[in-house]
Amino acid sequence: MDEIALLEGLLKIYSPTGQEAEAVDYLVAQMGLAGFEAFVDEAGNAVGVLGSGPEHVLPHGGTTRSEAEGLVLSEAEGPVMLLGHIDTVPGFIPVHREGDRLSGRGAVDAKGPLACFVAAAGRAAGEHAGSPQQRRPLIVVGAVGEEGDSRGARYLIDKHRPAFTIIGEPSGWEKITLGYKGSAWFEYRVKRTLAHTSARQESACEAAVGFWNRVTAWAGEQNTGAQKVFEQVSPTLREMTSDSDGFVESARLGFGVRIPPGLSVEALEAALRSLLAGTSTSHMAGAELTRLDGVNAYRGEKSTPLVRAFLMAIRKAGGAPGFTIKSGTSDMNLVAPAWGTPILAYGPGDSSLDHTPEENILISEYQQAITVLTEVLNLLTSA
């Protein structure tokens, strides 16, 4: 397998959320050429399987693709799940290579980590080809929709019970990510009867601004004493619109809130609804708050065989391992509580370049991460 060509080919296919099919077909074809049992599942995810467990079953659920749904392997027999995502945020970046630097949309978030998964799984399987040892199966998934509603990961939850899960997100080759903040998205709408500006009556726009000010003030109160960003409530205003039909004016806000461990999506929503009224019940007239989506924060444990395997592998490669937690959100937030498996996120790339016009990855770091992950998979899958 040409590991650099694999990544470069993946970057050349523009695949923003909702337009992943061409990239999925490419990845499935490349995994098939590398010896994976590769296919597109019903959610549109690219899936590649290497190895088999007891009774020679495919870890995606059966002895044939048609029998694949519903099989749950025990933790002792379960596969290693390498869950990356193949979609990107919008904004095509021309793919070009300059020395050690490869630029393109998704180079960091998260086609670089996904290609690393495929390459490392292929290396690990190749190093043990023909071995009589019974080895734990590997599943590599290029999930769709992670930058949107995570429909790819949601589909997987009831289809798999892995023994270990590695999420494909940039951490840098020497670090592993143990947790992500939660997030929730809301829409606020308010209406007011039109009045002359001299009437000193609150307008819809003023009501919306007032609500947003109460949200930020509430977040500030919650963050008292919280020194780290991971522990703070972080609201972000993303959209503002207003309209009028000559009789009634309306205003709309679209906003998100990053939430720390200890604050659930439901508790956040209840707190925001209490702010609708402000200091007077008259403020509540014509105001509506709708939660569009939400997922709770998650932080994994350090004392697991998965973490120990990474620490050993990074040190063996000459690195100084470290831990990080992220203020964003990933598919880890969804699958970790559902699977109850040792879990972490790993992948090459500088996460500060996520979603930026300068997104790029160092090929040397990409290759170093492949070496580390190959060693991890050998440790996890050995009999």
Q: How far apart are CA 370 and CA 366, in angstroms?
A: 6
The mean pLDDT value of the chain amounts to 89
Residue-wise pLDDT tens digits, 74-84? 445 689 999 99
For 286, list phi and psi in degrees, rounded to 5. 80, 5
Most confidently modeled range among 55-59, 128-132, 230-234, 274-278: 230-234
Q: How far apart are CA 116 and CA 173, in angstroms?
A: 11
- Kindly name the residue from 3, 20, 41, 87 that is annotated as catalytic: 87
**Residue 163 near residue 304 (C-beta atoms within 8 A):** no
Could you give all domains of the chain from N- to C-terminal order, each with its CATH number? 3-180+298-381 (3.40.630.10), 182-295 (3.30.70.360)
Residue-wise pLDDT tens digits, 343-366? 999 999 999 999 999 999 999 999
2 assigned to active site: no
Residue-wise pLDDT tens digits, 48-106? 999 864 333 343 443 333 333 333 334 456 899 999 999 999 999 999 999 999 999 99
Lowest-confidence range among 62-76, 193-207, 278-292? Answer: 62-76
Bond from prior residue into 207 cis (ω within 30 degrees of 0): no
Q: How many CA atoms lie within 13 A of 12 on its CB side?
A: 10
Kindly report the pTM of this predicted structure: 0.86
Q: How confident is the model at residue 202 (pLDDT cuts 50, 70, 90)?
A: confident
- Kindly name the residue from 109, 146, 169, 350 that is annotated as catalytic: 146
Lowest-confidence range among 115-119, 196-200, 351-355? Answer: 196-200
Q: Quick one: pLDDT at residue 66?
A: 36
Q: How confident is the model at residue 268 (pLDDT cuts 50, 70, 90)?
A: very high
146 assigned to active site: yes
CA neighbor of 175 nearest in space, from 60, 315, 61: 315
290 vs 282, higher pLDDT: 290
Residue-wise pLDDT tens digits, 131-176? 545 478 999 999 999 999 999 999 999 999 999 999 999 999 999 9
Q: How far apart are CA 36 and CA 163, in angstroms?
A: 20
Q: Quick one: pLDDT at residue 195?
A: 66
Q: DSSP string spanning 297-348?
A: -EE--SSSHHHHHHHHHHHHTT---EEEEESS--THHHHHHHH---EEEE-S
